Chains A and B, each alone.
Chain A
Amino acid sequence: MSRPAQTEKFKNPVVQWIDERLPVFTMLIKEYGVFPMPKNANYFWSFGGMAMLMLIIMIVSGIVLAMNYTPHTSMAFDSVERIMRDVNYGWLLRYIHMNGASFFFIAVYIHIMRGLYFGSYKKPRELLWIIGVVIFLLMMATAFMGYALPWSQMSGWGVTVITSLFAKFPLVGDGIVTWLWGGFSVDNPTLNRFFALHFLLPFVLLGVVFIHVWALHITGSNNPAGIEPKSEKDTLPFHPYFTSKDGFAVVVFLIVYLGTVFFAPLALTEFDHFKSYDSMVTPPHIVPEWYFLPFYAILKSFVFDFTVILSLLAMGGLVAGFPAAYVFFKGDVKKRNLAFKALGALLAVLVTITLLALVTADLENPSAAAYLKVVIIPAALQGVLAMFGSILLLVVLPWLDSSPVKSARYRPIYKKCLLVLLVSFLVLGYTGAQLPEGWPVIAGQIATVYYFAHFLVILPYLSRKEKTLPLPNSIHEDSCSASKGK
């Protein structure tokens, strides 16, 4: 048996010896040396690498913190303070870790926004995008459990508020909450499992990030023009072009991050995080970490219970929809049938849940009026569903937006809508931190409506109707005109 003769690739005999047996060096050269990057990729393409760096920083600092931390309700708070006071450079480790979570999210939010703006979720990168959403969900779970570990007032009460959300689900809700807590209240078993999972999930995250990068290296990076590379003139090798560019970007990012660690380490933290957890004293204002606030605001935007009377009104509307659809789609039988099916399905769902609610209703004084007021979907459950839905929506984004043009540069209306989405998200971030009263509630509700309308109504509409601008012929042409424009 003879193998094809391997050509000498590496001058260093040790490297050559290893590479013949395990081609790690060949792989590194292929994926990070000569790997073709669209040459017009701007600094927004550096945030993926920054997020990767943050994950590594979090894992390394986290492991050392875990060596000094005690996951017990009676000792957790003091053990964190011991790290801050008595462990050599413990204060540095802790501030790197707790601010690192914030900067990990900053990098990832910018990375996601980049994807939305330049259409990085579109064919052929749909799966790459979906894996990214999984990463985001895992990050949120990990960050949430990490926030519990110091066992402060914000830890304990944050865990109580968020885990209690699952109690809003009918029938199985209470069971889920008891299962999550490992008991009938937020207590030591809760802290123990949160610590175990907070230690485990980052490594799961690392694995999913590997798959994310793998998928990226199959399709190659998107770019600001949103067109695929056609010739060698369109790309540059990853090294030295993007190692140098990302390297500079990472150092600037580190300046902001470490500047916060050393000079304003508490800027992003609530003061109640420095009181140990007391299940008998509820803090006046329980707020999650800033990176959860937009989703928390969506949760709080739902204030009306969906009752039988509202359901009946909705049913009436749907029934009226049949003749309306008949007239509207007069010329197109196919579309008409589709509309009929959709209306019918919605009606069936409404009737089913209304009947279920009526059957299970336990009324003291059964009367017509009382039955009309029976709650089908409580406001809180609507909020929970909307909060999870707002993230899961991103999974189907590649199919909600079917416009063949990727980059918002060539989609004038989409660009404006995306700006409104960004503003809505920031408004939600602000209102999420406010007490649920007065104008912030209304502002949050408007922003919530826009958030869902953007994805569910505007994008499907724009993908068919929007007049896009002419695309450049090639990435090379795009980057030449960009440099001439300066």
Chain B
Amino acid sequence: MYKKSLPLVLAALVAFSAPAFSAEGVAPPKQHWPHQGIFGTYDKGALQRGYQVYKEVCAACHGMKLLAYRDLAGIGYNADEIKAISAEYTVIDGPDDEGEMFERAARPSDRFKGPFANDKAARAANGGALPPDLSLVVKARHKHEDYIHALLTGYTNAPAVDEKTGEAIEVPTGMYWNTYFPGHMIAMAPPLVEGGVTFADGTDATVHQMARDLTQFLAWAGEPHMEARKRMGVKVMLFLFVFAGIMLAAKRKVWAAVH
């Protein structure tokens, strides 16, 4: 898997780092995602791997405050598994009968526990930059899934000079050069490294693979009811097409005698 996708990644990096580095960033390459299209559904295996990447890598800095642990049923975990996952986290609850706040294990109904107490703490720990919440990140970025994947795999060395202005480019300490990030200077260090996680299903944890899985997990997180929506949509459309046919036949019959 790794050997197959490496040339792809390299090709993508070469092909899309060539255009001028404008302030708006470079258009991410168009990809196919299994959940796109009228009948597209989420790939549950990819979602679970993506969740693992989020949990083991991204969650160090990024929260997902709109999701509760019980929502993980949507990516194929059963009630016991979700209980086990939530129990790994400790949350602050209260006040109890003595008026004291206390710590307890998280329950499936709790929202994902964030890495920082508040935005100020997040900024303090990240050199002034605020890691955005990822609950809606796929919907909240231009080009959606394609952009997220391109960003995750778009780290390169900065070119020596700006193609347009001819000025030397210097990447400040604590910043990184990303082909697809608007302005190119991003405070997030390259998050994915080869073999950074060990997938339970034995899938090779290449950077490309992790980015694909994570992107799909984030897409699901932003639109958890997509499959129900499309299923209902197909039924509604079938009904409406039949209904339109009946209405047209009725209209024709009514109007048949009119000159």
Given A85-B224, A245-B251, A255-B240, A262 and B229 contact (CB-CB distance below 8 Å): yes
CB pair A271 B232 closer than 8 Å: no
Given A81-B136, A271-B140, A263 and B230 contact (CB-CB distance below 8 Å): yes
CB pair A251 B247 closer than 8 Å: yes
A483 within 8 A of B: yes
The answer, among B232, B244, B250, B255, for a CB contact under 8 Å with A255, is B244
CB pair B38 A263 closer than 8 Å: yes
CB pair A480 B259 closer than 8 Å: yes
Distance of A33 Cα from B259 Cα, bound (Å): 20
| CB proximity of A95 to chain B, nearest CB, Å | 8
CB pair A248 B247 closer than 8 Å: yes
A241 within 8 A of B: yes
Given A255-B241, A272-B140, A274-B139, A244 and B233 contact (CB-CB distance below 8 Å): no
The answer, among B140, B229, B254, for a CB contact under 8 Å with A244, is B254
Distance of A244 Cα from B255 Cα, bound (Å): 9
The answer, among A39, A265, A275, for a CB contact under 8 Å with B258, is A39
Output the nearest chain A residue to B138 by Cβ-Cβ distance.
Answer: A274
A412 within 8 A of B: no
Distance of A475 Cα from B38 Cα, bound (Å): 45
Kindly supply a per-residue 1/0 record for chain A positions 222-253, scoring 1 wherever the CB is within 8 Å of any chain B CB and 0 otherwise.
00000000000000100011001101100110
Q: What residues of chain B lie closer than 8 Å to A199, measured between beta carbons?
A: none
Distance of A244 Cα from B247 Cα, bound (Å): 7
**Within B222-240, which residues are at the interface with A (CB < 8 Å)?**
222, 224-225, 228-230, 232-234, 236-237, 240
CB pair A275 B251 closer than 8 Å: no
| CB proximity of A129 to chain B, nearest CB, Å | 28
A165 within 8 A of B: no
**Total chain B interface residues with beta-carbon distance under 8 A:** 35
Distance of A247 Cα from B253 Cα, bound (Å): 14
Output the nearest chain B residue to A270 by Cβ-Cβ distance.
Answer: B142
CB pair B140 A275 closer than 8 Å: yes
The answer, among A248, A252, A262, for a CB contact under 8 Å with B236, is A262
| CB proximity of A242 to chain B, nearest CB, Å | 10
B144 within 8 A of A: yes
CB pair A245 B237 closer than 8 Å: no
Distance of A39 Cα from B255 Cα, bound (Å): 10
Q: What residues of chain A lie closer than 8 Å to B144, measured between beta carbons?
A: 271
Distance of A258 Cα from B239 Cα, bound (Å): 12
The answer, among A251, A262, A271, A480, for a CB contact under 8 Å with B141, is A271
CB pair A240 B244 closer than 8 Å: no
Chain A interface size, as a band, is: 20 to 34
**Within B38-68, which residues are at the interface with A (CB < 8 Å)?**
38, 66
The answer, among B24, B241, B251, for a CB contact under 8 Å with A248, is B251
A60 within 8 A of B: no
Distance of A254 Cα from B225 Cα, bound (Å): 22
Q: What residues of chain B lie closer than 8 Å to A274, measured between beta carbons?
A: 136, 139-140, 222
Kindly supply a per-residue 1/0 record for chain A positions 53-79, scoring 1 wherever the CB is within 8 Å of any chain B CB and 0 otherwise.
000000000000000000000000010
Output the nearest chain A residue to B74 by Cβ-Cβ distance.
Answer: A85
The answer, among B136, B236, B251, for a CB contact under 8 Å with A247, is B251
A259 within 8 A of B: yes
A463 within 8 A of B: no
CB pair A483 B136 closer than 8 Å: no
Q: What residues of chain B lie closer than 8 Å to A265, measured between beta carbons?
A: 229
CB pair B140 A248 closer than 8 Å: no
CB pair B240 A258 closer than 8 Å: yes
Q: What residues of chain A lie closer than 8 Å to B142, measured between beta carbons?
A: 271
| CB proximity of A190 to chain B, nearest CB, Å | 23
| CB proximity of B12 to chain A, nearest CB, Å | 22
| CB proximity of B108 to chain A, nearest CB, Å | 13
Distance of A119 Cα from B73 Cα, bound (Å): 58
Given A85-B71, A247-B251, A262-B236, A479 and B259 contact (CB-CB distance below 8 Å): yes
CB pair A251 B240 closer than 8 Å: yes
Output the nearest chain A residue to B147 by Cβ-Cβ distance.
Answer: A271
Distance of A135 Cα from B15 Cα, bound (Å): 52
Given A91-B229, A248-B244, A263-B230, A85 and B66 contact (CB-CB distance below 8 Å): yes
B243 within 8 A of A: yes
Kindly supply a per-residue 1/0 record for chain B positions 99-128, scoring 1 wherever the CB is within 8 Å of any chain A CB and 0 otherwise.
000000000000000000000000000000
Distance of A172 Cα from B161 Cα, bound (Å): 51
CB pair A81 B254 closer than 8 Å: no
B86 within 8 A of A: no
Distance of A248 Cα from B229 Cα, bound (Å): 25
CB pair B244 A251 closer than 8 Å: yes
B169 within 8 A of A: no
CB pair A258 B237 closer than 8 Å: yes
Q: What residues of chain A lie closer than 8 Å to B153, measured between beta carbons?
A: none
Distance of A254 Cα from B241 Cα, bound (Å): 10
B135 within 8 A of A: yes
Distance of A243 Cα from B117 Cα, bound (Å): 61
**10 cross-chain pairs, A with B, having the tightest CB-CB distances, nearest first:** A262-B233, A274-B140, A248-B247, A244-B251, A274-B139, A251-B244, A244-B254, A91-B225, A274-B136, A248-B251
Q: Contacts A255-B240, A259-B233 given; 12 further ones with Cβ under 8 A?
A: A81-B66, A91-B225, A95-B229, A236-B258, A244-B247, A244-B250, A247-B247, A247-B250, A248-B247, A248-B250, A262-B230, A274-B136
Q: Hey, which bits of chain B sit against chain A, CB under 8 A? A: 24, 38, 66, 71, 135-136, 139-142, 144, 182, 222, 224-225, 228-230, 232-234, 236-237, 240-241, 243-244, 247-248, 250-251, 254-255, 258-259
29 residue pairs bridging A and B, Cβ less than 8 Å apart: A78-B66, A81-B66, A81-B135, A85-B71, A85-B224, A91-B228, A240-B254, A241-B255, A241-B258, A244-B247, A244-B250, A244-B251, A244-B255, A245-B251, A247-B251, A251-B243, A251-B247, A255-B241, A262-B230, A262-B232, A262-B233, A263-B38, A265-B229, A271-B144, A274-B140, A275-B140, A284-B182, A480-B259, A483-B259
